[in-house]
Amino acid sequence: MTDTLPTHPGATRHPAPGDGLTDTSRAGFALLALAVGGFAIGTTEFVTMGLLPQVAQGIGVDIPTAGHLVSAYAIGVVVGAPLIAVLAARLRRKTTLLSLMVFFAVANAASGFATGYSQLMVTRFLSGVPHGAFFGIGSLVAASLVPKERRTWAISMILIGLGAANVVGVPLTTVLGQRLGWQVPYWVVGGIGALTVLAVWTWVPWQSITAEVSMRSELSALSRLQVWLALLIGVVGFGGMFATYSYIAPTMTELSGFSEAFIPVILATYGVGMVGGMLVSGRVAHLGVLRGIIVSLGAIAVMLAAFGPLAHHQVLAVVMVFVLGFLPSILVPLLQTRLMDVAREGQSLAAALNHSTLNTANAFGAWLGSLVLSAGLGYEWPSRVGAILAVLGVGIAVLSALLGRRTARVS
């Protein structure tokens, strides 16, 4: 019996535990291992937003200043994703994934031991460094395990860990943080990171390195205009969502009148929306990746424009939080697939840059949100700024489509 999973050419697998499993089962367990990592990453990325008042009080700063901790994590992703993707170009993907998760577990545990604002800023930055590279390299592994037409689905199965984190991980750790101290969630995430190391070691296949892969081939992706346009779509399109969600806890208490104890339910609602969006994304991709991106961004713009006014009504506020999770989650796997299509031989860097871009949007959006809040404009305004950004994202996506058509006609 051969020991090879269904892969694209050039990706091979060496013997691993569980060789009695079918190829489909092996691929399923590998995707599960990567999804556990996504669950850990999603929990640590979003739990700070849900505990922003508690974290601010614990380290002695106001809420807009504590919002910079969200930006610090995002900046770590932005810096780490391209750097690791290029430096690890000649390493086996499984080796890189294991190393990233060990670093992630240690950095998150360290966040729980931080005693002040400056220390927590540093540890949140370090916690974000492995984020983009893990998802980027993990997406390439996932895509290699299934037929080409199922790539977006396989990628969404990893990213669904983010949604599951917001359904279970973030609400649960938010409750723990509210009752036991804001440090506890970071220690829990460190433990999940350690579990991910074990799961990746056990289930993710070893894949050979093709001779063509090098730092130069990865960097070649940066010479392609369509790569930059796809990245810009992510920055602008998602900036508005993060401007809104970064301050979701005080928005729900101030505008909607929910008690602080209800915030975990709000976060779980967002997570359910994320899971739904991830499940739908694969089907949307069959209609055309770029077309799906344009339609999704248009829907996000409408949703964000309506978010502020509707948030004053509790039932509608919960509905809008669900949609806030649903629509952008359709977009993430579509952007990941788009980058893989236009990057050619620089796929590792491009795949990692997708998450670097999304966290540039995270930092950018949280910063814009802090500006309007510090100016005293109220919690309705971050989503209004976000609607404008989403419209700009639609414009960039349309430009990308037009340039692609012109290039196709010329060739």
DSSP result, 392-411: HHHHHHHHHHHHHHHHHHH-
Q: What residue ranges do the domains of the chain occupy?
A: 23-410
DSSP 8-state class, residue 91? S
Fold classified for 23-410: Growth Hormone; Chain: A; (1.20.1250)
> Which amino acid type is present at position 212?
E
Please give the helix or strand (H or E) that residue 143 lies within, else none: helix 131-144
Mapped onto helix, strand or coil, the DSSP state of residue 113 is: coil
Angle between helices 184-203 and 170-180 (to 10 degrees): 150
What is the model's pLDDT at position 209? Answer: 65
* Rounded CA separation 33/18 (Å): 14
Q: Note the pLDDT tens digit of each residue in 253-279.
A: 999 989 888 888 888 898 889 889 988
Tokens of 297: 């961004």
DSSP 8-state class, residue 209? P
- Predicted TM-score (pTM) of the model is 0.72
Helix intervals (H) in 314-346: 314-343
CB neighbours of 108 closer than 8 A, spacing ≥ 6? 44, 123, 127, 186, 187, 189, 190, 193
User: Tokens 């009148």 belong to which residue?
Assistant: 257
* Rounded CA separation 266/322 (Å): 8
Q: Which of 300, 295, 325 is nearest to 171 (CA)?
A: 325
What is the model's pLDDT at position 20? Answer: 46
What is the model's pLDDT at position 302? Answer: 94
pLDDT < 70 positions in the chain: 1-24, 209-221, 345-346, 408-411
Tokens of 255: 């505008």
Tokens of 345: 């031989």
What is the model's pLDDT at position 12? Answer: 39
> Which amino acid type is present at position 89?
A
